[in-house]
Amino acid sequence: MVYGNFKTKLRTMKKRSTLAMAFKAEWLKIKGLGLLTIAIIFGLIIPALLFTIDMFSEDSRLYEGLPINAATKTITDTISQFGNFFMLLLVIIAATRITQIDHKNNGWTFLETQPVSKLSIYSAKFLVLTTLTLMMFAVYFLSSILFSNLLILIYPQEGLQTGVEMYWLFQTLVRLFVLSLCIISFQLMLSTIITGFIWPFAIGFVGFVINIVAAIREETYDFVPYNNVDTGLTFKDSFKLNHFFNYTEYLSLFWTVLFFTIGYFWYSRRGFKSAFLSTTKAKVFSVIGLAFFVGLYFFITKPIYPQKFKDHSVISGSIQSPKPVKNITVISTEFGDKIAEIPVTDGMFRWDSKDDLPFAEYSINYDGKSYPFLFSKGDDVHFDIKMNAKLSEVFMKGTRKAEDLYESRNRENSNFYNFIAATKMHADNPSLFYKEARKEWKNRMKELNKFRTAENIYFAEDFKEYQIQKNATKMLSAIYDYQKMTSFTDKKFAPEAQFLTELQSAIQKPSPLLYSRDIYKSWKLKELLPKEGNANSDSIVFAKLKAMPAGVSKDQLLSSHIISMTTLENNEGKRNLIFNENIAGIQNPKFKNYVAKKVEILNNQQKGKAFPIMVFEDADGKKVSLSKFKGKFVVIDFWATWCGPCKETSPVFAYQAKKNKNNDQIVFLAISIDEDKSKWKLDLKNTQSNVKQWWLSDPNALKQLGIEGIPRFMMLDPDGKIFNANMPRPNETNFVDILEKITGKSSNYMVQVF
Alpha helices (runs of H) in 631-728, residue ranges in sequence order: 644-659, 677-684
533 burial type by CB count under 10 A (0-12 exposed, 13-18 middle, 19+ buried): exposed
pLDDT at 129: 95
Q: Which residues contact 485 (CB under 8 A, 6 or more apart)?
A: 424, 427
Higher pLDDT, 37 or 6: 37
Would you say 441 and 503 are in contact if contact means Cβ atoms under 8 Å apart?
Answer: yes
Q: What SS3 state is found at 157?
A: coil
Instruction: State how far Cα 237 lies from the chain centre.
Output: 14
Question: How wide is the angle at C-alpha 132 spanned by C-alphas 130 and 137, nearest 5°?
Answer: 90
When pLDDT is cut at 50, 70 and 90, the band that residue 475 belongs to is very high
pLDDT beyond 90 at 673: no
pLDDT at 12 over 60: no
Q: Euclidean distance between the first and final Cα of the chain, in Å?
A: 106
Can you tell me whether residue 208 is helix, strand or coil? Answer: helix
Element (H, E) at 313: strand 313-320
Query: pLDDT value at position 139?
Result: 97
d(CA 114, CA 109): 9
Of 638, 571, 614, nearest to 701 by C-alpha is: 614
Percentage of the chain beyond pLDDT 90 is 44
Q: Could you give the 3-state DSSP secondary structure of residue 234?
A: coil
Residue pLDDT, tens place only, 652-662: 888 888 888 88
b/e per residue 263-277 (b: at least 16 CB within 10 A): bbbbbeeeeeeebbe
**3-state secondary structure labels for all residues of 499-559:** HHHHHHHHCCCCCHHHHCCHHHHHHHHHHHCCCCCCCCHHHHHHHHHHHCCCCHHHHHHHH
Sign of CA dihedral 237, 238, 240, 241: positive
Encoded amino acid at 718, one letter: P
* pLDDT bucket at 746, cuts 50 / 70 / 90: very low
* Rounded CA separation 673/694 (Å): 9
Is residue 92 a contact partner of residue 182, using CB atoms and an 8 Å limit? no
Strand (E) or helix (H) holding 90: helix 88-105
pLDDT tier at 14, thresholds 50, 70, 90: very low
For 732, how many CA atoms within 13 A lie in the half-sphere containing its CB?
A: 8
Alpha-carbon 627 to chain mean position: 45
What band does 23 get if pLDDT is binned at 50, 70 and 90? confident
φ and ψ of 411, to 5 deg: -110, 35
Break the chain down into helix, strand, coil percent, rounded to 5: 60, 15, 30
Q: How far lies 599's CA from each of 517, 537, 577, 717, 727, in Å?
A: 19, 22, 11, 23, 20
Residue type, 477: S
Mean per-residue pLDDT for 522-530?
A: 88
69 phi, psi to nearest 5 deg? -70, 130
CA-nearest of 608, 574, 607, 625 to 726 is 607
Q: How many CA atoms lie within 13 A of 278 on its CB side?
A: 9
Residue 69 pairs with which residues in a beta bridge?
161
pLDDT of residue 645: 81
Q: What is the pLDDT of residue 111?
A: 53
| Cα 475 from Cα 478, distance rounded (Å) | 5
**50 vs 412, more confident:** 50
d(CA 464, CA 470): 10
Q: How confident is the model at residue 272 (pLDDT cuts 50, 70, 90)?
A: confident
Asked if residue 711 has a cis previous peptide bond (ω within 30° of 0), the answer is yes
Q: Over 70: is that where the pLDDT of 26 sits? A: yes
pTM of the model: 0.79
Annotate 568-631 with DSSP letters as a single string.
H---HHHHHHHHHHHGGG---HHHHHHHHHHHHHHHHTSTTPBPPP--EEETTS-EE-GGGGTT
Instruction: Collect all residues with Cβ–Cβ distance below 8 Å to 537 and sequence separation of at least 6.
Output: 529, 530
The pLDDT, as a whole number, for residue 110 is 53
CA–CA separation, 51 vs 32, rounded Å? 31
pLDDT at 732: 80
| Beta bridge mates, 715 | 635, 724
Is residue 13's pLDDT more than 70? no
The reported pLDDT for the residue numbered 502 is 95
Domains, the chain, ranges and CATH?
2-270 (no CATH), 313-408 (2.60.40.180), 412-528 (no CATH), 530-604 (no CATH), 616-753 (3.40.30.10)
pLDDT digits (tens, 9 = 90+) for 694-732: 998 877 777 777 787 888 899 998 988 888 888 888 888
Cα dist from 171 to 66, 127, 630, whole Å: 22, 22, 63
**397 has pLDDT over 70:** yes
Alpha-carbon distance of 280 to 351, in angstroms, equals: 62
Confidence at residue 114, expressed as pLDDT on a 0 to 100 scale: 59
DSSP state of 16: P
Q: Determine what percent of the chain is predicted with pLDDT higher than 70.
A: 93
